[in-house]
Every structure is written in structure tokens, then in C-alpha cells.
Amino acid sequence: MTDIRGRLHIEPGANGTWMLSGSIDETSQLGELLSRARNGRLVLDLDGVQFINSLGVRDWIRLQTEAIKQQLAIDLIRVSEPIIHQLNMIIATRGNSHVASFYAPYACDACGCEESLLIDADAHAASLAQLVPPAQTCPECAAQMAFNDFPERYFSFLVPDSSRLG
Amino acid sequence: MAILIVHPDRKTQRTVQRILGVTGYRIEVADDLEQGIRLLQHISPRLVVVDVSALSSPSAAAFFAAVRARRDEACMMLLGANTLDQIPHILELGAITNLLVHPMPVLAEALTITAHKLVRNDLFGAEKYLLWGTQLHEVDVTRSMQRPKIVADLAEAVRARGQSARVASMAMLVADELISNAVHNAPCDADGNHYRSEVARDTDLELDAQHQVRLRWGCDARYFAIEVNDHFGSLDRGTILRALAKQDVRESGGGAGMGVALSYRSCDHLVFNLAPGKRTEIVALIDVRYSPSERIPASSFNVFVERST
């Protein structure tokens, strides 16, 4: 838990993915990630990023803007909830990136368990477009869990916006 | 002294009148803005309470100009769940210093606290929003680079007290932004220069007594409260209202005041207590009673300015 606000770490993952963990903040210098793109594509795994502040948001937007200039595609996988909140709150953070999978809040009515569960955005694209969250099973009691936010708010980052960069 | 209520609905008038009547102030009631403008010519209310329906009145501009002209008084707007889309417009007006978005009974609590703070000119302390007996923990920030550790410790304490990862995440963001602003934006010299605002946020600064920032936090099982204090009192009402109204935060994430704007969007109620030239205190309240799907997707705010005695 104490690393949740630690400095950003970047490590290579499988299939050319770059795994980010820690905080995106004033120390992050995300711009250097662009040099790690392969074949015009940068794949970022954001599972380990549990904090981003306003200075981190600015750096993230600079990364997105520069990627568009350089015609690089950015794929985001396993995007954590704090990052999803920023994608929903600030349109410019989305750039032209593609979110392939992301975490979303679920709650179990039966046992009260609350979990952040992974959603495959590509596999569930049709239902997500209808703002219907995929069904999830409670990891503690195996009951059906309920989506624990307003779908129209939480999934708004998936909706194309005319004011997006590029 | 008086409180002016402008609301078209007689039942709501009576409800608000009953709540605010406990202050002992005379309560004046107007059915519409035209009547409100006439009353403003004869009374000097400490607080003006307006329903959101006022925004569509042809007299709105004249009314809010009259309110703005009385710089010492507070103007509060009440918002129903079906009118939340009006918030950007309300913020752009620059005349509303208090916005309460919650329904009863939370509205009654917030209204009462707001009125008492204004009437008594006793603004400071997160205790006013928490139940009796709630323990507030405090940390003094003595070096700027303590911020990440303090924020991480706060998140750990939130989780250790059984709160959700969502609450911990919101608390972290709010505390980080408010401490950062208090360390870098609050310091101000006699000429009004904010001499640390351009210093890189990852520079390690030793903070003397004047520059130290105090973080206090506590939870009463209704709210998780985060309070951040500085000793400069350089934040003013106009700057706050402009930051809250920032639309380019939504569009581009740009510009000054982004920390305040993000903090507002990351909590349920943001309270600014200002003693100009002496002290600024910001209290963020995160409602821990409701799951995200049960919460109102909007936040209240108050901007209080201490009256010189």
C-alpha cells in the first residue's frame, strides 16, 4: 500500500507491452515512453497505476498530444479506476488512445463485497456501447455482482467525442 | 440582520424557513426574483438562498448583479437532482458562493451549518461537518517532499478503517492537490507575488513556521473529511469561483486552478474558509454512506470569507 504514491516504474511486459506502476505525477516524465513504441504502436499496461494528480494529468495529456503528432497509436490495457476517472473527467486525456481493457467497480448485494474487476472492452464492445456492464461473479460468495457506479458516467470515456484531440 | 429566501414553491419556502429560522435571524421570503430585487433595496441579508429555477427568469441578470454588488453577503443556490446539468452555468455566473446539491435530509444539515457559520462568523474547522466525538488526526508538512509519503499514509489509514479503495483514491487525490497548492501557491509577499508558484513541485523545500501546512482528517461514518490549512490567506473568492467554473479542465485539462477544479470533482462537498491575509482552510468531504451508484453525480461547495471584527 505504501507504494501507491511511489514514483512511477516502467518495466517491459509480454509482447512489447510496457507495464507502469506507482504514481503519475510531477516526476513521471511520460514523454520518454514514446521512444519505446514498436511499429508505430505503444502498448501500456496501467494495472499498477493507482494514483494520478493534476501535474500527472498534464504530463499524460502532453504524451497523448505528442503521440498524435508522431502518428503513434497508443493501446491501454488493464486501465485502473483512478485513470478511468481522469479519462471521464478530462476529455483531452483520452487523446486517440484505444482502451482494450479496464477495471470497473462492482458490488455484491449478497455479501457486501466490493471489487474492482477487469472488463475486456473489445469483447464487450456491443453491450458497453449500450451502457450495459458485463455480468460479474462475486469472488467471495459467487453471487451475481451489480455494477457499482452510473454506467452513463463510468463508461463515458468509451463514447467518441467530437472535441477529442486530432 | 436577515436571511432572504427566493423560491417559487410555498412548501419549500416553509421548509427552508424552518431550517434557517434556528439562526434567530429574520427570514424574508420572496416568491420570485423581482420581489427579491425589491427586498434587496431595503434589507442587507447575511445570506440569500435561491432556487435553481431562478436561472430561467428574465430578471436573473439583474438579481445576481444586485447580489454581487453586496460583496459581504453570501448567495446560496439549491439544486435538485434533475437540474444538475445547470451546474456549469451556475458556476459561470460568478455570483453563487454556495451551492448545495443534496436532497433532504443532507440538505438540512448543510443549510444549517452554512447559516451558523455565516451568522457567528466562526468559519474554521472540519469539526463543524462531523458528528460529536469524531477524532481528527493532524500532520504538519515541514518539507515539501513529504507530500507523497503523507498522502500514501493517509490512503493506508483510510483502508485500515474499513473504507473502500474508491474513498482512499478520492482522499489521496484531494489531499495531494490541496497540500501542493498550500505549499506552492499560497505563499505570497507584501506585493502580492506568489513566489513559490513557479517552483517545480518536485523541489525539496524546507518549510519554516510561516510556510508549514497542516493536514487534518477524520471520519464519522458519514463523511471522510480532509482539511488543509496554510498561514497566508492569499486565496480569494474570485480565484476560487473561476477555478470551480473552469470548463477547460473538462476539455483540455489546462491552466491554473486545475488542482482546485479536480479536488472539487473528486469529493462530494468542498468548503473554502478564508481569512484574507491570515489563513486559508479548505475542507473536502467525501460521503462514505453511499455506494457510487447511489451518490449524486455532482458536488456542493461553500466559499466563506471571515468578516473583520
Q: Chain B: residue nearest A29 by CA?
A: B202
Q: Which residues of chain B are within 8 Å of residue A146 when distances are taken between CB atoms?
A: 293
pLDDT 10s digit of each residue in chain B, 309 long? Answer: 889 999 998 998 999 999 999 889 999 999 999 999 999 888 888 899 998 888 889 999 899 888 877 765 688 888 777 777 888 888 887 778 889 887 777 788 999 999 999 888 999 999 999 999 999 999 999 999 999 999 999 999 999 999 999 999 999 999 999 999 999 999 999 999 999 999 999 999 999 999 999 999 999 999 999 999 999 999 999 899 989 887 666 666 555 678 999 999 999 999 999 999 999 999 999 999 988 888 777 899 999 999 886
Averaged pLDDT of chain A: 92
Q: Which residues of chain A are within 8 Å of residue B293 when distances are taken between CB atoms?
A: 107, 146-150
Mean pLDDT of A29-56: 96
Domain final position from B60, B87, B120? B120
For A40-104, the three-class secondary structure string (H helix, E strand, C coil) is CEEEEEEEEEEEECHHHHHHHHHHHHHHHHCCCEEEEECECHHHHHHHHHCHHHHCCCEECEEEE
Q: What is the ipTM of this complex?
A: 0.90
On whether both B115 and B138 belong to a single domain, the answer is no
Considering only CB atoms, B173 lies closest to which of A53, A90, A153, namely A53
pLDDT at B304: 94
On whether both B139 and B267 belong to a single domain, the answer is yes
For B115-155, the three-class secondary structure string (H helix, E strand, C coil) is HHHHHHCCCCCHHHHCCCCCCCEEEEECEHHHHHHHHHHHH
Residue A162, pLDDT > 60, answer no
Of A97-106, A120-129, B106-115, give the lowest mean pLDDT range.
Answer: B106-115
Q: CA–CA distance from B259 to each of A112, B16, B27, B174, B246 (Å)?
A: 33, 33, 37, 8, 11
Instruction: Check: CB of residue A54 under 8 Å from CB of residue A23.
Output: no
List % helix, strand, coil for chain B (3-state, nearest 5). 40, 20, 35
On whether both B291 and B159 belong to a single domain, the answer is yes
Q: Fill in the amino acid letter for A24.
A: I
Q: How many domains does chain B have?
A: 2
Residue B210 in grid coordinates: 510561516
pLDDT at B184: 95
Q: Which residues contact residue B197 at a Cβ distance below 8 angstroms, ignoring those fewer than 6 apart?
A: B184, B185
Residue A60, pLDDT > 60, answer yes
Number of A/B CB contacts below 8 angstroms equals: 105
Nearest one of B282, B291, B252 to B264, comparing CA atoms: B282
On whether both B258 and B211 belong to a single domain, the answer is yes
On whether both B171 and B282 belong to a single domain, the answer is yes
Domain final position from B55, B88, B120? B120
Residue B226 in grid coordinates: 480532509
Residue A113 in grid coordinates: 463485497
On whether both B197 and B141 belong to a single domain, the answer is yes
Position of cell 513557479? B198
Residue B91 in grid coordinates: 458556476
pLDDT at B245: 84
3 state SS of B284: strand
Cβ pair B152:A4 closer than 8 A: yes
pLDDT at A1: 43
Q: Which residues of chain B are within 8 Å of residue A163 when distances are taken between CB atoms?
A: 251
Q: Which residues of chain A are within 8 Å of residue B159 when distances are taken between CB atoms?
A: 1
On whether both B288 and B143 belong to a single domain, the answer is yes
d(CA B127, CA A34): 48
Chain B nearest C-alpha distance from A113 (Å): 10
Cβ pair A153:B177 closer than 8 A: no
Give backbone dihedrals phi and psi of B57, rounded to 5 degrees, phi first. -75, 140
Residue A2, pLDDT > 50, answer no
Residue A102, pLDDT > 80, answer yes
d(CA B179, CA B212): 10
- pTM given for the model: 0.92
Residue A69, pLDDT > 90, answer yes
| Burial readout B189-214 (b: 16 or more C-beta within 10 A, e: otherwise) | eeeeeeebeeeebeeebebeeebbbb
Considering only CB atoms, A153 lies closest to which of B155, B164, B297, namely B297
pLDDT at A165: 38
Nearest one of B109, B123, B114 to B96, comparing CA atoms: B114
What CATH architecture is A2-158?
2-Layer Sandwich (3.30)
On whether both B31 and B109 belong to a single domain, the answer is yes
Q: Which residues of chain A are within 8 Å of residue B291 when distances are taken between CB atoms?
A: 107, 114, 148
Under DSSP, the state recorded for B290 is S
For the segment B172-183, what is each residue's pLDDT rounded down to a tens digit? 999 999 999 999
In chain A, domain spans: 2-158
pLDDT at B287: 93
Q: Which residues of chain A are within 8 Å of residue B164 when distances are taken between CB atoms?
A: 114
On whether both B109 and B138 belong to a single domain, the answer is no
Looking up residue B144, the CATH number of its domain turns out to be: 3.30.565.10
Nearest one of A52, A58, A95 to A75, comparing CA atoms: A95
Cβ pair A55:B291 closer than 8 A: no
Residue A163, pLDDT > 50, answer no
pLDDT at B44: 84
Looking up residue B101, the CATH number of its domain turns out to be: 3.40.50.2300
- Chain A touched by B56 (CB under 8 Å): no
On whether both B146 and B281 belong to a single domain, the answer is yes
On whether both B284 and B192 belong to a single domain, the answer is yes
Domain span at B13? 2-120
What is the side-by-side strand order in the sheet with A101-107? A114-120, A101-107, A144-147, A136-137
Residue A112 in grid coordinates: 457486501
Paired sense of beta strands B2-6 and B45-51, if any: parallel
Cβ pair A23:B148 closer than 8 A: yes
Q: Chain A: residue nearest B179 by CA?
A: A53
3 state SS of B88: helix
